A and B are shown apart, each in its own frame.
Chain A
Amino acid sequence: LLRRGGIDMATEGDVELELETETSGPERPPEKPRKHDSGAADLERVTDYAEEKEIQSSNLETAMSVIGDRRSREQKAKQEREKELAKVTIKKEDLELIMTEMEISRAAAERSLREHMGNVVEALIALTN
């Protein structure tokens, strides 16, 4: 299936044109006698364009404020965690040893080393668990 995405939609244009009537689009062709197919046509309709539905309600403000509060708390907690880990000193050779021996990415190796306070032996033991 080809993946689709929409582009920002504007409304009608002014230009008059002779258009081909293509079979895909809002008007459906008359039902052909159904052969055994793999459901390709139905699957194709999954990606048809449809307008997004709107909410009729008015007061969304309180809801939005609750969300806002929550988010700032989340951001703060995350930043603090990252700060703690960044304080740990680690050695470059240790990092490279972990990457080679355990065949993991730099990011994963670094995280493991920091979580074990820079102790490469302990980090490796944990990684082999």
Chain B
Amino acid sequence: MPNTQLPPKESNLFKRILKCYEQKQYKNGLKFCKMILSNPKFAEHGETLAMKGLTLNCLGKKEEAYEFVRKGLRNDVKSHVCWHVYGLLQRSDKKYDEAIKCYRNALKLDKDNLQILRDLSLLQIQMRDLEGYRETRYQLLQLRPTQRASWIGYAIAYHLLKDYDMALKLLEEFRQTQQIPTNKIDYEYSELILYQNQVMREADLFQESLEHIETYEKQICDKLLVEEIKGEILLKLGRLKEASEVFKNLIDRNAENWCYYEGLEKALQLSTLEERLQIYEEISKQHPRAVSPRRLPLNLVPGEKFRELMDKFLRVNFSKGCPPLFTTLKSLYYNTEKVSIIQELVTNYEASLKTCDFFSPYENGEKEPPTTLLWVQYFLAQHFDKLGQYSLALDYINAAIASTPTLIELFYMKAKIYKHIGNLKEAAKWMDEAQSLDTADRFINSKCAKYMLRANMIKEAEEMCSKFTREGTSAMENLNEMQCMWFQTECISAYQRLGRYGDALKKCHEVERHFFEITDDQFDFHTYCMRKMTLRAYVDLLRLEDILRRHVFYFKAARSAIEIYLKLFDNPLTNESKQQEINSENVSAKELKKMLSKQRRAQKKAKLEEERKHSERERQQKNQKKKRDDEEEEASGLKEELIPEKLERVENPLEEAIKFLIPLKNLVADNIDTHLLAFEIYFRKGKFLLMLQSVKRAFAINSNNPWLHECLIRFSKSVSKHSNLPDIVSKVLSQEMQKIFVNKDLESFNEDFLTRNATSLQHLLSGAKMMYFLDKSRQEKAIAIATRLDETVKDKNVKTLIKVTEALLDGSFGNCSSQYEEYRMACHNLLPFTSAFLPSVNEVDSPSTALNHTANYDVLANEI
């Protein structure tokens, strides 16, 4: 065993190595290492070897780093420094569990080592081991009670564990040690006070919190926040008069914040509508240019008063030329009375302005400029689009365009209308027109790219984005680097519709990696925020990271990934899947041979093409790596390249799907789709109790959901087919399913569902599918139900009608190509502009003969 103790000269060198590491002076650190290791007496010194490895890691030389660290550890296995360094290495590779083990080993050898304890605590909070974190922070506090961070860290631990009592005790003790004189303003002290106050409010200690904020008011930098807190607490304490004063002052500061009006209403508790309107009127007089006191009353008043106020509001805004006018009024459109009043008012304006430049024919005074008519027509286009009257909407937008062909908003709206109609190519075309009017506007450029993706024009979309992305890399790559997830999720959907599953999965994994990185990136802020005392922001960050995957981008990527993996499980791709199914009966042996050799040649060509693409990709990547700075850190070694062909031929698609599912189960449990997707996975895995869990949870959210209904029936059928389940499982199943099915047989269960939902096409479709599923002899009746288009059926919109056609094509009703044709024609008569129902030019190309998959070929728009 080589000597682990260094003589004074080398020992000092070693200390300098440590310092260099702290100060990020890596090259100097390596120099010092060399000085020690070049001496043959110390060439095998464990700790120096370990430090050399750690420094190399910071310079991006990962493999060498591991070599040296491991060597050092082997040479000196009782050194806490070596274990600590190994832990740091593991952590930098995000191997957090391993790192914790190393730290614990290090602590066994040096139990009160501050630095190791600190590093351990960072990992614990990163992994949200809150109890462990609290323990470690307690040890740190005992070792260094004079350090600020010890107190803060310990207090935060209690706060996160919701033990407000303890947290507040600690914070108060700490605050007292700060001894800031009352006339001094110190930003960090201000943040501490605000954090303390936040903890009080979370603990529902409203009285204390009010007294606290009033005591330290003068030393808090964020004066606005102080007022807002006062307002909130006074309301909670029922001191309404004082609260109303506070909110009045807040409105004076900012008359457009709707929360202040809400607070004011709560404080005043006025009983009559007139009194409430009076308040808004007064505020409007004091703030004549504010929009909110004129907009908010529109939410409150009905009938005639609404007409009066709306008339005023509209006129002012049309004259002024306010483009987002419709957007600000959109939230009123749930109320049919208000909608018809608006329609009457605005269509009258339009008619009048066209003839005499006034809002109504019986006026005089100043005439309206021509732009007023423009904005009125623009509004009407949006109005009728919202109501689903697309023909009329197009008329108005075209009239507006005719008068003002240079206004981007108009083309944007025209594109939107076509999107709603279901003609996505036309929509993309008009959005392209819009962006061409201002190529320096990235917003409209992005919108155009999105519309192209909706129309499955992926190449064009990439080209469109490339006008703004970095030079030197492809747009796809740059957008991935920039974590541009709106683009990536739209690509996922586009690839999915085109059946390009490998490409779609690649993007799904890219999005998942972004979320991983965003979670990972919080690591450095555990120390940084405590040092800078930005504690409220820090706790907010932790809470955000806790629920990060609740974000819709993750949900979209996860949902698509699961759907694709399910399809790949049902219809796996083989290596010959590019081959057509040859019907050898109709073809002579000679022709067959010819066909096969032709296919083999085609396959070979395709394979060579793939290899060429792959090596081209590799070459490009190598070039890019060279271009990158030497100083730049290498991405952690975990990121292997995502290859579409490999992704779509994965061995265990269901397990891959579950990886995407788990965060949804934990964070998006209130969305019924989470559980229904879960059911589809577990159904294919044959996990009955997990199927039960999924349907129970879905049932609790919405027992009448159409997809759930289908799952329930398939579930029940499957249970009755499997007679050899373990006793315990059967017991649980029968007991729990009883609560859902209530002794009904499946046919009656389905009949009830159909009767209950006789006017909803979505539900009728599901019920009809299940009718056929339970009894194939009832095919005619089932199809008849699904293809109903009579007056009583309410939701005959583009989306739902397309769903029915898909079901007719994908085998849900067996063979029914003639019924499909009939139905398609009927839909076409109903919605003549929608592409999905236009007669296809070549019947052979119709979606039903698509290769590789029979289930659910998603034609065009899913989400409108």
Q: Residues of A at under 8 Å CB distance from B?
A: 1-11, 13-15, 17, 19-20, 22, 24-26, 38, 46-50, 52-57, 60, 63-64, 66-67, 70-71, 94, 97, 101-103, 120-121, 124-125, 127-129
Contact = CB atoms under 8 A, between A and B. Distances in A.
B536 interface: no
Interface in B10-32: 12-13, 15-16, 18-19, 21-28, 31-32
Contacts of A60: 145-146, 173, 177
Interface stretch (B114-122, B215-223, B404-412): B114-122
Given A13-B12, A128-B692, A52 B91 contact: no
B588 interface: no
A121 B690 contact: no
B531 interface: yes
Query: A interface, by DSSP: helix, strand, loop or mixed?
Result: loop
A67 B177 CA distance: 16
Contact of A7 (B18, B28, B166, B726): B18
Given A22-B27, A52-B531, A57-B176, 5 more contacts: A22-B26, A26-B23, A49-B23, A54-B148, A60-B173
6 contacts: A1-B523, A2-B92, A7-B115, A49-B22, A55-B177, A103-B658
A21 to B, nearest CB: 9
B173 A103 contact: no
Nearest to A57: B177
Contact of B169 (A3, A66, A102): A66
Contact of A46 (B138, B524, B658): B524
B22 A6 contact: yes
B88 interface: yes
A15 B9 contact: yes
Interface of B: 8-9, 12-13, 15-16, 18-19, 21-28, 31-32, 51, 57-58, 81, 84-85, 88, 91-92, 113-115, 118-119, 122, 138, 141-142, 144-149, 151, 154, 166, 169-170, 173-174, 176-179, 482, 521, 523-525, 528, 531, 633, 658, 687-690, 692-693, 696-697, 726, 728-729, 731-732, 735-736
A124 B15 contact: no
B179 A53 contact: no
A65 to B, nearest CB: 11
Nearest to B145: A60
A6 to B, nearest CB: 5
A101 B92 contact: no
A125 B736 contact: yes
Which 3 residue pairs of A and B lie closest in terms of their CB atoms, listed nearest first? A13-B12, A57-B177, A128-B693
Given A3-B524, A46-B525, A125-B732, A13 B25 contact: no
B13 A15 contact: yes
Contacts, number: 166
B147 A53 contact: yes
Given A5-B91, A52-B147, A71-B138, A103 B687 contact: yes
Contacts of B170: 63, 67
A2 B91 CA distance: 9
B523 A3 contact: yes
B690 A67 contact: no
Contacts of A1: 521, 523-524, 633
B849 to A, nearest CB: 39
Contact of A5 (B16, B115, B138, B658): B115
B173 A63 contact: yes
Contacts of A4: 58, 88, 524
Given A15-B12, A128-B736, A101 B81 contact: no
A3 B9 CA distance: 31
Contact of A3 (B51, B92, B731): B92
A98 to B, nearest CB: 9
A55 B148 contact: yes
A1 B144 CA distance: 29
Contacts of A97: 726, 728-729
A53 B84 contact: no
Contacts of A22: 25-28
Given A13-B15, A55-B148, A5 B689 contact: no
A125 B735 contact: yes
Contacts of B687: 101, 103
A127 B113 contact: no
B25 A7 contact: no
A70 B166 contact: yes
Contacts of A120: 728
B141 A67 contact: yes
Nearest to A98: B689
B258 to A, nearest CB: 33
Nearest to A23: B631
A8 B12 contact: no
Q: Of residues A2, A49, A97, A103, which shows the largest number of chain B Cβ atoms within 10 Å of its Cβ?
A: A2
B181 to A, nearest CB: 13
B51 to A, nearest CB: 8
A3 B174 CA distance: 29
A124 B531 CA distance: 47
A55 B736 contact: no
A128 B138 contact: no
Nearest to B173: A63
A51 to B, nearest CB: 10
Contacts of B146: 54-55, 60
A101 B693 CA distance: 11
A101 B764 CA distance: 34
A26 B58 CA distance: 18
B531 A50 contact: yes
A48 B24 contact: yes
Given A1-B524, A5-B91, A49-B22, A15 B16 contact: yes
B147 A64 contact: no
Contacts of A54: 146-148
Contacts of A24: 23-25
Contact of B23 (A2, A25, A127): A25
